[in-house]
Homo-oligomer: A and B are copies of this chain.
Amino acid sequence: MDSPIIAKAPVRTASLGKREQTKVQNREIILDAARKVFGELGFGATTVRDIIRATPLASGTFYNYFKSKEEVFQAIQDEMALTLRPRLRDERLKAKTVEEFISSTFRSFMEFVAEDHVSVRTIRHTADTTRVRIHTPEIVAGFEELREDIEKAIAQGLFPPVDADYLMASIVGVAFEVADRMMTREHRDPAAAAAFATALFVGGIRMLPHADHPAAKTGTA
């Protein structure tokens, strides 16, 4: 299905037959609708019907593209994974100092969120203050990547030998919560939010207790 080595020229995305074009379009229509509905109702509460309703398409058409809402969700996450995660990873790998490592992580993240990427944000339910946040497998995988990178940085002597798991969790927690506050402000300033979070960690990491065997601390779930 994918990875054609040569055949059928990869550079034709713009010149698809009418059939293929509609197919791609409909897929995108469904994904957009799903993003919107997941954002409004939360994943659990969303039904396939809800997604279809947010679409000009017929219910039967949905099943030509996806088998279930789970599959749609997967597709949305994959899309995100294809943009945010590599971006974060590349910059972290280039980092020469703690400061670069931390600040690149937060800057990329805050910018991504500010670009209206709803999927990362807290969802406010209708008419009350209840907020829901969904961490999808893809996002969780991104967490693991971060932890691995921290462990590498410790191994390279870039970071002190702290608890990589807790540090990762702290970065994630701060990233999501501060991003969330940022989005409630009138003037959204991803750079300022990133600067705040970066300063906190750059200052704090030095004070963290040293883990005796950092790797051993890694949880297994």
Contact = CB atoms under 8 A, between A and B. Distances in A.
A202 B203 CA distance: 9
Contacts of A162: 196
Contact of A200 (B170, B181, B217): B170
A24 interface: no
Count of identical protomers in the assembly:
4
A203 B175 CA distance: 18
Interface in A153-170: 162-163, 165-166, 169-170
A76 interface: no
Contacts of A185: 217, 219
A200 B205 contact: yes
A44 interface: yes
A44 B181 CA distance: 23
A137 B128 contact: yes
Interface string A170-207: 10111111101100111000001101110111111111
B137 A122 contact: no
Tell me which of A44, A46, A135, A173 has the highest count of chain B C-beta atoms within 10 A of its own C-beta. A173
B209 A196 contact: yes
Interface in A128-150: 128-137, 140
Given A131-B140, A137-B129, A219-B181, A170 B199 contact: no
A221 interface: yes
A43 interface: yes
5 tightest A-B CB contacts, nearest first? A44-B44, A203-B207, A173-B173, A204-B204, A173-B177
